[in-house]
Amino acid sequence: MGLQLTLILTCLFCYKALALKCYQCTSQGTCPQIDCVGECATVRVTSTMQGGGAPLVDLQLKSCAAPAECINGSLNLGIVKTVLGTKCCKTDLCNSQTVSALPDKPPNGKRCYTCDGHTCSGTITCQGDENQCISTSVDVGGTKTAMKGCATKSFCDGISSLQQSVGMTKMSCCVGNLCNSGNMVNLSFLLMLGPLLPSFFH
């Protein structure tokens, strides 16, 4: 019994020793301190409609993050483009900083299929380091809508981590021009990525 108690206390002590203090909040809220294992992070998510204009979503979030969730990348679905800029750090309360919006990048010559709500035969030109094509479907109000477009590798990898943390189903990313012509797989509520991001950090 004494050995078990010693092991439990040792584990608790080690957790406290390894835990970081990080801020946790959205851009509209206060920022209390929380214990994190991993890294502290500040992320800026910006979503804009095709053709530009005022952002649909422009949020700064602070919390814990695993290394795979420190994403600097973009997802372009043709009708909407979402850009994530993240700063991760490994010292107490280091996520007090803000993240500047990532600049638009020029086309890179890669093309992927995109959907317009009825068909997925249109194509878009990827930008910057968007080097993968993505296929998914969004479940909004019980209706599944196919979505395709361009994405950065870091976005595809990071969203895979998000899927596991919030119980989403799979999506598909591929490399090669117009490689996303196959069947859809389900990814609930990807379009509303902004409101999901608090679940992204644990």
pLDDT tens-place string over residues 138-168: 766 777 778 899 999 988 887 665 544 433 4
pLDDT tens, position by position, 30-80: 889 999 988 999 999 888 887 777 788 888 899 998 888 888 889 999 888
Is 50 exceeded by the pLDDT of residue 193? no
Q: Give the chain's domains with CATH numbers.
A: 20-200 (2.10.60.10)
Is 70 exceeded by the pLDDT of residue 118? yes
pLDDT of 63? 92
pLDDT of 200? 44
Question: Model pTM?
Answer: 0.72
Is 90 exceeded by the pLDDT of residue 174? yes
SS (H, E, C) 67-119: HHHCCCEEEECCCEEEEEEEEEECCCCCCCCCCCCCCCCCEEEEEEEECCCCC
